[in-house]
């Protein structure tokens, strides 16, 4: 049932021009960044070689491109997730799902999965771009995989937050703006403190992503993302159940 809903969501995404525009635009920016970093790397390669422990191709190109892509996703995901529930509620199509033998959990997971698959496609394409470096030299596969995992978890967290915001309102635009606000807040929450031991660092998306970006896969960071995703999915389910009770 989850897959039926996910497939429908994926299809609706690909029918809408917005998804294509975002997909194309992100690919364009990522490719441009990628090539410009590559260009810069080739320019300074000879100087780098003189260093005792020269940074590798992957370190110079892949890590910054992935970092920038995470930021782009922060802008793009709320636009992709805004319609998920808000539009169903506004057009009252939600009653097709509610009167079918499908639980709230399945509805929410199906919607989440649909969007996630789309985002994974995006991340996957970026991964291919990174893997293409293999043709020209040595590739730090571990670093690339850590970045891919981090980006995928990041995208999934964005999707969960966006989905929840979409459950809160009937206006897709409000959901998009709200989602963007919440994500930016989570991204930058540790900016407000100068204290390096502040617990706010634990909340920050950026902080946890940075570890993956450097090639460190830490269970604490993994747990952070998984908890974040689970929490927002659970909130979405609760919210939809509340709708049925309140009317």
Partner 1 sequence: MADPALTISAQGLSRSFGARWAVRDVTLELKRGEVLGFLGPNGAGKTTTMQMLTGNLAPSAGSVSICGVDLLDAPKQAKARLGYLPEVPPLYKELTVTEYLRLAARLHRLPKVQVQAAVDLAMERCGLLPMAKRLIGSLSKGYQQRVGIAQAVVHQPDVVILDEPTVGLDPNQIREIRALIRELGRDHSVILSTHILPEVESVCDRVQIMNEGRMVYSDTIAALKEARDARGLVVGLRRPPAVGELAAIPGVAKVAPLSEHLFRLALQEAPDPTDALVERSVRLNWGLVQLSPAQTSLEDVFVQLTQREETAP
Which residues bind to partner 1, rule: CB under 8 A? 1, 4-5, 8, 11-12, 15-16, 91-103, 244-245, 247
In the bound state with partner 1, the residue whose beta carbon lies nearer, of 52 and 247, is 247
- Residue pair 172/87 in contact (Cβ under 8 Å)? The answer is yes
Q: Give min distance, CB of 8 to partner 1, in A.
A: 6
In the bound state with partner 1, the residue whose beta carbon lies nearer, of 2 and 183, is 2
- A 10 A CB-CB count for 214 gives 14
Instruction: Provide the token pair at 147.
Output: 């970045």
In the bound state with partner 1, the residue whose beta carbon lies nearer, of 92 and 192, is 92
Q: Give min distance, CB of 234 to partner 1, in A.
A: 19
In the bound state with partner 1, the residue whose beta carbon lies nearer, of 57 and 80, is 80
In the bound state with partner 1, the residue whose beta carbon lies nearer, of 195 and 246, is 246
- Residue pair 30/114 in contact (Cβ under 8 Å)? The answer is no
Using CA atoms, how far apart are residues 40 and 25, in angstroms rounded to an integer?
23
- Looking up tokens 């470096």 gives 133
Q: Give min distance, CB of 100 to partner 1, in A.
A: 4
Q: Give min distance, CB of 12 to partner 1, in A.
A: 6
Instruction: Provide the token pair at 183.
Output: 């994500």
Q: Give min distance, CB of 63 to partner 1, in A.
A: 39
- Residue pair 113/7 in contact (Cβ under 8 Å)? The answer is no
Phi-psi region at 127: left, alpha or beta (left = phi > 0; alpha = psi -120 to 50): alpha
């Amino acid at each position: 049932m989850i897959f039926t809903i996910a497939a429908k969501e994926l299809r609706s995404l690909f029918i809408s021009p917005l998804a294509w525009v975002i997909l194309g635009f992100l690919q364009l920016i990522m490719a441009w960044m990628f090539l410009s970093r590559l260009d810069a790397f080739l320019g300074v390669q000879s100087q780098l070689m003189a260093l005792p422990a020269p940074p590798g191709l992957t370190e110079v190109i892949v890590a910054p491109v992935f970092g920038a892509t995470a930021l782009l996703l922060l802008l793009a995901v709320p636009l992709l997730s805004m319609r998920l529930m808000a539009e169903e509620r506004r057009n009252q199509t939600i009653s097709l799902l509610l009167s079918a033998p499908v639980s709230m959990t399945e509805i929410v997971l199906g919607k989440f999965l649909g969007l996630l698959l789309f985002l994974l496609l995006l991340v996957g394409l970026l991964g291919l771009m990174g893997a293409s470096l293999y043709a020209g030299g040595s590739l730090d596969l571990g670093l690339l995989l850590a970045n891919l995992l981090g980006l995928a978890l990041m995208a999934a967290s964005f999707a969960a937050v966006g989905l929840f915001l979409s459950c809160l309102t009937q206006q897709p635009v409000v959901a998009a703006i709200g989602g963007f606000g919440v994500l930016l807040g989570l991204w930058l929450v540790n900016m407000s403190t100068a204290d390096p031991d502040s617990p706010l660092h634990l909340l920050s998306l950026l902080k946890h992503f940075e570890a993956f970006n450097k090639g460190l896969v830490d269970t604490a960071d993994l747990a952070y993302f998984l908890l974040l995703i689970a929490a927002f999915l659970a909130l979405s389910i609760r919210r939809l159940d509340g709708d049925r009770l309140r009317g």
